[in-house]
Amino acid sequence: MTHTLTSFFNSVPRFRDGGDTPRAYLERCLETIAAREPDVRAFVCLDEANARAAADEATARYRQGRPLSPIDGCPVAVKDIIETADLPTQMNSRIFEGWQPNRDAACVYALRQGGAVILGKTVTTEFATAASGPTRNPNDLTRTPGGSSSGSAAAVAAGMAPVALGTQTAGSILRPAAYCGVHGFKPSHAALNIGGIHPLSNSHDTLGTIAGSLADAWVTARYIAELVGGTPPHPGLDGPTTLPAPEKPSTLALLRTEAWPTVDPDTAEAFDRALGQLRSAGVAIADAESDAAIAALETLLEGVDGVARTIAIYERRWPFLEYLHRYPDRLSPEAADRSKKSAEISREEFLTAYRQQEAIRLQIDSLRDQVDGFVSLTAAGPAPVGLEHTGDRSFQIFWTLTGTPSFTLPRLTAGGLPVGLQVMGFRDADAALAGTAHWIDTLLAG
């Protein structure tokens, strides 16, 4: 793991007592960017001048004992499908090349109101769904960083920023965070406001955070919700404004799912060791072999990737069919093909997939009184070699489909490369899951 930047949340006491400043913290980020960005290629554009000005303002507020918020002075990298009033939002698309919005997305507005420092825009796959960008994995430059929040995960992993914004419609927060060896947080669906973010699937699109620490991931997400709420009518992510205290789970449900045969042996061994540590610490691990309700859930999850694709592709009819009509020569072949497929899915097929989604959600809810959460791998192995393919989404998609919260913890390695441990919870019980993840993260960090 290459991440060496000190957690912003852990640095705040030194800002308050004068031992450090937000400006000095930012300069450390910019020094790392200067050294690593030519190889990693995490950013589409940087805004050093405005970042320094914002960090200076935050430094003055700390000296006066009046910081605006828990994230005042925090450098944040923003995925380039999220609108920014002072930086282009190009979405790795020829259609939007050079496009400059005249507003901030809701999340960016909230960050600025809290005094956060917007570093720049990070590389995404085309519209967060198609052609890959140039970003490389900081742990091994021959490997993908994952996608679609490619640049956000790579920037955090390389120590360029303590936290970055990402989005997930299938696996686009958790997979790159796992591949790059950092923390990822995908909140409950709609718990963070997605206003000003390019749409893919209203049922699945979720804003979240990628960070070098669990505290930075939680605090940043929670502050966004405090300022702009969730995506209406959701009231927004609830819970303490600081990372919830570690809460030892009594029982966790182990979900292998149909993706388990794809797991490489080193990763399976690392996962088994982590389960052993949990059991040794007194956590009961239930699975499909020991619990009929979990077995029923595993059965419902069979074929879940196809269910998710049907819903997501149907829901992207607009604006992608319009793009295909107006700009057929500016879409990648992959994006054009998916746009055409959206028109081929019938309403009946969509409704069948939607009913399957609801059945899975109900089965998960039925387990609330039996388990404190769920545990699985975040990915079947380390990041694949090559940049054309951002990796398999099989271990992330089911908890996106169900709209439930999940964290990936960078506590597993296979062949010297990071692999994430995924901890999952119940819909709108994000704070409880954060307490569970905090306890597990602390245990496995040793």
Residue positions annotated with a catalytic role: 79, 148, 172
Q: What is the C-alpha end-to-end distance of the chain, expressed in Å?
A: 16
Selection from 403, 42, 10, 431 nearest residue 231 by Cα: 403
Amino acid, res. 322: E
DSSP state of 378: S
What are the distances in angstroms from CA 115 to CA 50, 75, 426? 12, 10, 32
CA–CA gap between residue 72 and residue 49 (Å, rounded): 17
Cis amide bond preceding 319, omega within 30: yes
Are 249 and 432 in contact by the 8 Å Cβ rule? The answer is no
Contacts 24+ apart (CB under 8 A), 279-282: 281/248, 281/443, 282/248
- Dig out the tokens for 150 from the structure: 């490619």
SS3 39: helix
DSSP state of 43: E
- The secondary structure element, H or E, covering residue 46 is strand 43-46
Q: In sequence order, what DSSP letters do the residues of 77-101 get, joined into one string?
A: EEETTB-BTTB---TT-STTTT---
- The secondary structure element, H or E, covering residue 9 is helix 8-17
- A 10 A CB-CB count for 46 gives 19
- Dig out the tokens for 85 from the structure: 């009033």
Cis amide bond preceding 188, omega within 30: no
